[in-house]
Chain A
Amino acid sequence: MSDSAINESLIFKYIQGQCSPSEKEEILQWLAQSQENREVYFRFKALFYALKANSYAQNTHLEQSVKSFRQKTHRTNRIRTIMAISKYAAILIIAVSIPLFLWLTRSPKQEFITAQVGTNDPIKSITLNDSTKVWLNKNSKLSYPQAFTGDERLVKLEGEAYFEVKKDSQHPFKVQTPSITICVLGTSFNVKTLNNHRLTETTLAEGKVSLQKADGKNIAVMKPGEQTNFDSQTNSLTTKEVDPELYSGWRQGALLLKNVTIAEIAKVIESMYRIHVQVNTAGLESKKYNFTFHRTQPIDTVMEMLQFIAPIKYKIKDKQIHISKN
């Protein structure tokens, strides 16, 4: 008889998971031999666990299980009661809340004030009702509510502005441009829309902001010193590291630039005078300069000063400045 070849204690060792690899090999071989062998094993296994029922029926063990069962059913009993009550409560709440909602929303539909700065106007500094500070550059428009209500603080921007947002983690501050929305907790950053507001350039000085597309999808979280450019037409985002000072210089008037390249100076001039600057100074890319000027100075004067410190020449034509190597 094939099954007599097995030592029965091996069957039991296998049930208990106590077999060594070679013993396991042996028992598996034996089990593979015949269904009769397998049934012997199945019966022993069933017996082994059936006898466990006796020990589970003993008080110490059973009380534990009953206790945990009690907790579960009590919890669901409580939930049932709450559910039953809440049915009526829900009806009551709806009945009360509709008129209440209408009453609450009857008055000021959050009215937006629009601040606008034209080409010849001076830069405007605005303090919002939450004491967030905004500097609005030339050719820019900012819409904001007289007082923030609701969960978020939303303002709308076309053009360029620098924000020093009052920290309030309960009410995220959001800047909506025609292409993206910038969500802020408390931070300082510069926003500029370009190309007929298709592009939004965001430069973060401190804190943390996240960018959302018009559909509310998050596209990026920015770190201080980063600048992103989002193009709503191609749906593309580019990120680079910059010195945020260079992009917020326009709001202070006087500007002290230290250890910067011609290209970076050109950026500042662009931002201050809202004029396009083209730089073509091959060979000077890595040269660093210190340069100070004031925004009340006419652009010609500033360019002459720059020409004085760096080996460049410039041409102003059609609201564009061309800088090239001298």
Chain B
Amino acid sequence: MSIKNAESIDFLVNGQATGDYEIIFKKYFPALKAYAQLFVHEQVAEDIVQDILVYLWENRGNIQIHTSLEAYFFKSVYQRCISHIKRQNLLLKHHSQIETNLREEEISYFDSEKNEAIRKLFMNDLQKEISSAIDSLPPKCREVFEMSFLQDYKNKEISEKLAISVNTVESHITNALKALRGKLAKLMP
């Protein structure tokens, strides 16, 4: 199910049934939740994105969106995550100044208004390029990379499942990342 942004807004203004809005929910929720996790933990991310989507639904008659719906969503998620981080003082909880500085720089790097490629990455607009890069990895390397990146297995678990050493797992990941590194730099300048 795909809708263009213009249609989405039309849905918002005219769509009275929640059913219509669920199409929007399904389209944006996965990307927004994943994006929020750049800043906060999974459960917080889920709550924040739910809140934003519920808020828009409840105030559908009153909200004026001047940008695209997509840009509006990403901006809202970003702002809510930042205010969550500030409220919880999460930046001060790091053990070293280096880490705190790193987090600050990272937060600004992931701002979708400054870095449009981020939004494209999460909205799967870059999927073709990414998957072709992943597909071109050697089979074993790709398998390890996918287990690690997509399925969240720890290196030790992968080594047990595939009956290879942890060192081998790490070298596969190293090779995969090396191969992806140049590609990513082109996609996200």
User: A and B bound?
Assistant: yes
By a beta-carbon cutoff of 8 Å, the part of chain A in contact with chain B is 7-9, 11-13, 16, 18, 28, 31-32, 38-40, 42-57, 61-62, 65-66, 68-70, 72-74, 76-77
Is B4's beta carbon under 8 Å from chain A?
no
User: Do B33 and A56 touch (CB < 8 A)?
Assistant: yes
Q: Is B13 in contact with chain A by the CB < 8 A criterion?
A: no
What are 13 A-B interface contacts by the 8 Å CB criterion? A12-B173, A28-B102, A31-B98, A38-B105, A38-B106, A43-B184, A43-B188, A46-B38, A47-B180, A50-B35, A56-B33, A70-B18, A77-B18
Rounded to whole Å, the gap between the CB of B2 and the closest CB of chain A is 12
List the B side residues contacting A32 at CB < 8 Å.
98, 102
Mostly helix, strand, loop or mixed at chain B's interface? helix
Assess whether A49 is in contact with B25, with CB atoms less than 8 Å apart: no
Q: Which residues from B are CB-within-8-Å of A66? A: 22, 25-26, 29
- State the CA gap A46–B188 with chains docked (Å): 10
Q: Is the CB of A51 within 8 A of B98?
A: no
B contacts, CB < 8 Å to A: 18, 21-22, 25-26, 29-31, 33-35, 37-38, 46, 50, 53-54, 57-58, 96, 98-99, 102, 105-106, 109-110, 118, 121-122, 124, 130, 148-150, 152, 154-155, 169-171, 173-174, 177-178, 180-181, 184-185, 188
Residues of B within 8 A of A8 (CB): 173-174, 177-178, 181
Q: Is the CB of A45 within 8 A of B33?
A: no
Known: A42-B106, A49-B37. A65 touches B50 (CB 8 A): yes
A52 lies within 8 A of B37 (CB): yes
| B21: chain A residues within 8 A (beta carbon) | 73
- Contact assessment for A65 and B46 in the assembled complex, using a CB-CB cutoff below 8 Å: yes
CB B4 to nearest CB in A, in angstroms, measures 18
State whether A49 touches B174 (Cβ < 8 A): no
Task: Known contacts A12-B173, A28-B99, A44-B177; decide if A49 and B38 are in contact (CB<8 Å).
Answer: yes
- Specify the chain B residue showing the minimal Cβ separation from A75: B54
The answer to whether B30 and A62 have CB atoms under 8 Å apart is yes
Query: By the criterion CB–CB under 8 Å, are A73 and B57 in contact?
Result: yes
Smallest CB-CB separation from A56: which chain B residue?
B30
Partner of B34 from the list A16, A31, A53 (CB cut-off 8 Å) is A53
Contact A52 B34 (CB under 8 A): yes
Contacts of A49 in B (CB 8 A): 34-35, 37-38, 122
Residues of A within 8 A of B180 (CB): 44, 47
Is there an interface contact between A50 and B122, defined as CB atoms closer than 8 Å? yes
Contacts of B46 in A (CB 8 A): 65
Q: How far is the CA of A47 from the CA of B121 in the complex (A)?
A: 7
Question: Which of A7, A51, A54 has the most C-beta atoms of chain B within 10 angstroms of its own C-beta?
Answer: A51
Q: Tell me if B50 and A46 are in contact (CB < 8 A).
A: no
Structural contact, A9 and B109, CB atoms closer than 8 A: no
The reply to whether A56 and B34 contact each other, CB–CB distance below 8 Å, is: yes
